[in-house]
Amino acid sequence: MSYYALDAWWWPFVFILIAGWLATDIWRWLGVIVGNRLQEGSLALTWVRAMATSLIAGIIAKLILQPTGSLADFDIYLRVLAVATGFLMFLMAGKRIAVGILVALLVLLVGDWGLNFRILTRLW
């Protein structure tokens, strides 16, 4: 059966639900089963953490250097300043994620305000 097999309004939702579940849930269960057998400091778990960290770092770098949407309207120096300030405040606040995100957002908004609402006027 293919995606185009049914012409019902609900079929795309069911297809996404099933495909999304199969694509992610199987790997989650395998992770739980295999993860319970690994030692905390094992080489395999260290490798998994390194891969996860590098993927997140790559996504953040792409958002800063090649953003899409409204973030692309901000100058690169403002994006870098927001990330650096947010990260610094994240560390200073005892590694609280919400603090880092809010400070970075505030730097973007204040920077936009300092540039005469160049971006905010396009969003409204």
Longest CA–CA separation in the chain, Å: 57
Q: Does the residue 62 lie in any domain?
A: no
pTM over 0.75, yes/no: no
Q: What is the enclosing helix (H) or strand (E) of 102?
A: helix 97-114
CA 32 – CA 19 distance, rounded (Å): 20
Mean pLDDT over 105-109 rounds to 92
Q: Does the residue 47 lie in any domain?
A: no
Q: Does the residue 22 lie in any domain?
A: no
Q: Does the residue 81 lie in any domain?
A: yes
Q: Does the residue 55 lie in any domain?
A: no
How many structural domains compose the chain? 1
Structural domain boundaries enclosing 92: 68-117
Q: Does the residue 34 lie in any domain?
A: no
Q: What is the pLDDT of residues 52-101, one digit of tens each?
A: 999 999 999 999 999 998 888 888 999 999 999 999 999 999 999 999 99
What DSSP letter does each residue of 12-80 carry, written as one string?
HHHHHHHHHHHHHHHHHHHHHHHHTTS-TT-HHHHHHHHHHHHHHHHHHHHHHHS--GGGGGS-HHHHH
